[in-house]
Amino acid sequence: MAGANADTHVVIAAFKEGKVIRGVVAEVVAAGYPVIVVDDGSPDDTAAAARMAGVSVLRHPINLGQGAALQTGIDYALRRGARHIVTFDADGQHSVEDIPDLIAALTHADIALGSRFLGKDAIGVGARRKALLRTATLVSNKLSGLKLTDAHCGLRAFRATVAPALRITQDRMAHASELLRKIQKSGLRVVEVPVTVKYTEHSKQKGQGGFQAIRILFDYFFRPS
Amino acid sequence: MIIRILMLAGLAAIGWLVFLRRNRLPIHIVIVFGLLAAGGWAVLFPEQTDDIANYVGVGRGVDLITYIFEVAALFTLVHYYTKFVELQRQLTDLTREMAILRAEVERAQKPPAS
């Protein structure tokens, strides 16, 4: 069983996730996927906590941002000969069970994006956060020209062959919008796959609020990519 | 007259610093000293800046200098912002390369754990 998933590399970007990362990584490893954890210069023990058999731990000596960490993991996955690459959040909000659905979708698409709003439940999501996510989706659809139900889900899968077209240059949080624009620009076949997102107190704390949205928009427009 | 002495001393100090770091292109030094000379001249004969201002269609020399200063400040801002973004990109590339290299060295040192 482990062999079947061996060419799907799961990239997890982590910053200050020492408390939860071990459980998240262990779940993915148990499903038989090679895991690449990129510790984005955390001051805590994130890197040490993530270290276990079947996991490559990469460490940014300085904190660069989630976009940069993901791209580092993607580069490493490519060097390790990945056929499919999955991005997975470190805070435990995604389910490993959704990965096979994303990979299955890649038989007729180049990239599969997880969506919180396609049927499966978003567990523990408040009305305010929902409204914020809807607004973000609306803005991001306008920016990218794509029509998606959920623009900022960290769970995605894509073929290794399209990775160069999707290269992330937005080091911080604007990488999600950047990715969508690049999908649209290079005419990749994109599908959305319903996924379950578990909102915990921890993941909500780490999530982006409305105020950060302004910074993301600033990055998107004023940082040339 | 104290202000004139202070201004000229400041300009002279800048000139001295530029002279000390004269490892640049000669044209840069010529331009910097040209600007310093123009500054010194404006300090010594402020009323003559009015003539230039009138010539280019500005009321007072003070205004002209303010306008030039504003444009120069904006130019500097854009210049350094561009440099900053470029530096950050290089820093990202370098950090990434380091992280990957270290992981590959670690991997080579120990037999692959299953």
Write the pLDDT tens digit of every residue in A138-189.
887 887 878 888 877 899 999 999 999 999 998 888 888 889 989 999 999 9
Stated pTM of the model: 0.81
**CB B91 to CB A60 under 8 A?**
no
What does pLDDT average to over chain B? Answer: 90
pLDDT over threshold 80, residue A75: yes
Provide the CATH number for the domain formed by A2-222 in this structure. Answer: 3.90.550.10
Cross-chain CB nearest to B114 (options A53, A68, A224): A53
Strand A197-198 relative to strand A156-159, pairing = unpaired
Share of chain A above pLDDT 70, in %: 91
Mean pLDDT confidence for A24-29: 95
User: Which range, of A36-40, A167-171, A178-182, A200-204, averages the lowest pLDDT?
Assistant: A200-204
CA angle A73, A76, A77 (to 5 degrees): 85
What's B112's DSSP letter?
P
**CB B104 to CB A79 under 8 A?**
yes
Q: What is the pLDDT of residue A119?
A: 66
Which chain A residues are Cβ-neighbours of B88 within 8 angstroms?
Answer: 171
What does residue A74 show for φ and ψ, rounded to 5 degrees?
-65, -45
A3 in contact with B, Cβ within 8 Å: no
B100 in contact with A, Cβ within 8 Å: yes
Better-predicted residue by pLDDT, B25 or B10 = B10
A56 in contact with B, Cβ within 8 Å: yes
Write the pLDDT tens digit of every residue in B39-62.
999 999 988 999 999 999 998 999
Cross-chain CB nearest to B95 (options A54, A61, A223): A61
Mean pLDDT confidence for A216-225: 73
**CB A68 to CB B113 under 8 A?**
no
The residue behind tokens 């799907």 is A8
Strand A84-89 relative to strand A35-39, pairing = unpaired
pLDDT band at A2 (very low <50, low <70, confident <90, very high): very low
Write the pLDDT tens digit of every residue in B64-111.
999 999 999 999 999 999 999 999 999 999 999 999 999 999 989 876
B108 in contact with A, Cβ within 8 Å: no
Strand A55-59 relative to strand A122-123, pairing = unpaired
Where helices occur in B1-114 by DSSP H, the ranges are 2-20, 26-44, 46-56, 61-109
Contact A67, A175 (CB under 8 A): yes
How many angstroms separate the CA of residue B71 from the nearest CA in chain A? 20
What does pLDDT average to over chain A? Answer: 87
pLDDT over threshold 50, residue B114: no
Nearest residue in chain B measured CA to CA from A36: B103
B104 in contact with A, Cβ within 8 Å: yes
The predicted complex's ipTM stands at 0.83
B89 in contact with A, Cβ within 8 Å: yes
Residue A61 amino acid letter: P
A72 in contact with B, Cβ within 8 Å: yes
A57 in contact with B, Cβ within 8 Å: yes
SS3 A75: helix
The residue behind tokens 């408040």 is A126
Write the pLDDT tens digit of every residue in A80-100.
999 999 999 998 889 999 999
Write the pLDDT tens digit of every residue in A93-149.
899 999 999 999 999 999 999 988 776 666 667 777 777 777 878 887 887 878 888
Cross-chain CB nearest to B85 (options A60, A64, A223): A223
